[in-house]
Amino acid sequence: MIRFAVIAATLSAGLAAPALASTKATTDGLFVNIRSGPGVNHPAICLAWPNVPFTVTKCDGNWCHVEYLRSTGWMSAKHIAFQD
């Protein structure tokens, strides 16, 4: 829970999040697009389902690079629930 609070505080301050060592996470309970790049201007390549765990490899601003099942891409950090 502390890791989530630190990352959330960093992201809300508009700063780049610290490098993550493959952190486990799920979505915040919504279906969330995984995109080919960090931003809504990049096309969606996959849809993450609620409660399906994935790995966050790094964050850049308000976007995090994720490994979801057999796909890799970018997800909005506001929809990520980091696991302890």
Q: Quick one: pLDDT band at residue 22, thresholds 50, 70, 90?
A: confident
Each residue's pLDDT tens digit, 24-75: 999 999 999 999 999 999 999 999 999 999 999 999 999 999 999 999 999 9
Question: What's the pLDDT score for residue 73?
Answer: 98
CA pair distance 25, 55, nearest whole angstrom: 6
Q: Is the model's pTM score more than 0.85? A: no
* pLDDT reported for residue 6: 44
Pair of tokens at residue 68: 């979801």
* 1 and 79 Cβ atoms separated by less than 8 Å: no
Domains of the chain: 2-82 (2.30.30.40)
pLDDT of residue 84 exceeding 80:
no
